[in-house]
Amino acid sequence: MHILSVGRAFPPHYYDQETLIAAFMQYWAGAMHNRQRLEQLHRHVLVGGRHLALPLEEYPKLQGFTDANNRWIQVALDVGAAAVTDALDRAGIQPSQVGAFFFTTVTGLATPSIDARLMNRLHLPPHIKRVPIFGLGCVAGAAGIARAADYVRAFPDEAAILLSVELCSLTMQRQDISIPNLISSGLFGDGAACAVVAGDRLVESLKEEGSAPKTSAPKVLATRSIFYPNSEEVMGWDISERGFRIVLSAGVPEVVKIHLRHDVDLFLSSQGLTIKNISSWVCHPGGPKVLQTFEEVLELGPDALELTWRSLREVGNLSSSSVLMVLRDTMESRRPASGTLGLLIAMGPGFCSELVLLQW
């Protein structure tokens, strides 16, 4: 199983963090007694700027969940189509070669789902197997890669695409001035990413035709899913008539500290490997404390997660899209040496983690 490419797309509205802080100070004027706390929380997440689904001045005009979700559908279709097109172009394959379409989000609702609404727009084959996924949150980028790899293992002549669209700004709860909501309003951004995963026989035929990507595609060697019992309250949404209200426990870094190294060691051991065999890391940018914990428990050097930190600074946490963005950056600008091993990691609601072993 090979990851041929990762496409991406962002809404055109980008704002630096200082502009956003000023907007939020005005947004919550009269509701907060300690406005400096908001500024402090937004600076501590180390995000430099973010893309937003809508122009900044449009958010106060949203009339509840229905209005926000309708805007989510409109923007999701635009950025989703752009991300898929980018991914297929980079992979050098035609829509007719795609056998499965996995779609994931945790920031909006649509039936028919976004993947269905993109079928005609992208001229995808009518027999394609669609698998919309909702609720995995930040872990879904890694989990989606794993499920796409499962598919092409069974159908090696085909490709599967994984599209992630996350428009976190449209989940904003104006009436909620809890610490988790204040943190999330400074941490999360908007964007879409699409990975193309191809079976072995399809990759060989692409090479024979001369249409394969110019650089070798990383192979998915193995995957593992881990669910942590009795951890459902660590992260997620409380969903009501007002929409999505963030659940974000301060204990997330502690969960990472307790479980991640053991899980990584156990997974690698099952493949006859140790952590010393891993030379590159593609990690979800959950936030500064989470990344610091990753570095600590995995005993990583100062530059091991540089691309993850950079993604956090430049676009914020994009939920399931983020780890795919880091994977694209790794493939494009810091490709590991051929034959070396890497590990792709994300964690999310459940609470759970997903591990994907790569060979470059």
**What are the C-alpha distances in Å from 214 to residues 144, 219, 220, 302, 360?**
24, 15, 18, 30, 14
Reply yes or no on whether 283 is catalytic.
no
DSSP 299-357: T--TTTTHHHHHHHHHH-B-THHHHHHHHHHHHHHSPPPTT-EEEEEEEETTTEEEEEE
Distance CA 97, CA 128 (A): 9
Nearest CA among 319, 328, 273 for reference residue 139: 319
- Looking at 138, 168, 283, 352, which residue is catalytic? 138
- Cα–Cα distance list, 306 to 44, 196, 275, 281 (Å): 18, 24, 18, 10
Per the CB < 8 A criterion, the answer to whether 101 and 115 are in contact is yes
Distance CA(304)–CA(301), nearest Å, equals 5
Write the single-letter amino acid at 327: L
Continuous H helices in the chain: 17-27, 35-44, 64-91, 114-118, 140-154, 179-187, 200-209, 252-270, 288-297, 306-315, 320-333
- Catalytic positions: 138
